[in-house]
Amino acid sequence: MGHRDPEELPEGGTGKAAGGLLEGFARDWAVNGAVFLSLIVVAAGFFSGGTTNVVIGLVIGITGIGLPWVAVGRRWPIARTWVTVFAVIVADALALAVMLA
């Protein structure tokens, strides 16, 4: 399977180009949302009290802040970027559930 540059418009007409553009916007929103949620996890770790919550918040939050940007910056394949973003969102949600329970 060939590797496609995620910033390159697909060949095949206006429909594919528009689809690629919409996917790019959705991916940017998802990446920024995952990073913002990770910032919330770091803050929740500090403000929810307890050493365990601080460690959970820092480890999961900082990993969640960096990983989506690494995926975009290194131009990982689109599917791998989406999987990474969703994994960060799920990890952040689980961390918030554990810290706030």
Query: Tell me, what's the pLDDT at 19?
Result: 84
User: For residue 66, with 0-12 CB atoms within 10 Å meaning exposed, 13-18 middle and 19 or more buried, which class applies?
Assistant: middle
Query: Tell me, what's the pLDDT at 10?
Result: 60
Query: Tell me, what's the pLDDT at 101?
Result: 82
Low-confidence ranges of the chain (pLDDT < 50): none
Are residues 34 and 85 in contact, defined by beta-carbon separation less than 8 angstroms? Answer: yes
pLDDT one-digit tens code per residue, 11-39: 667 778 788 889 999 999 999 999 999 99
Query: Tell me, what's the pLDDT at 76?
Result: 93
Query: Tell me, what's the pLDDT at 27?
Result: 95
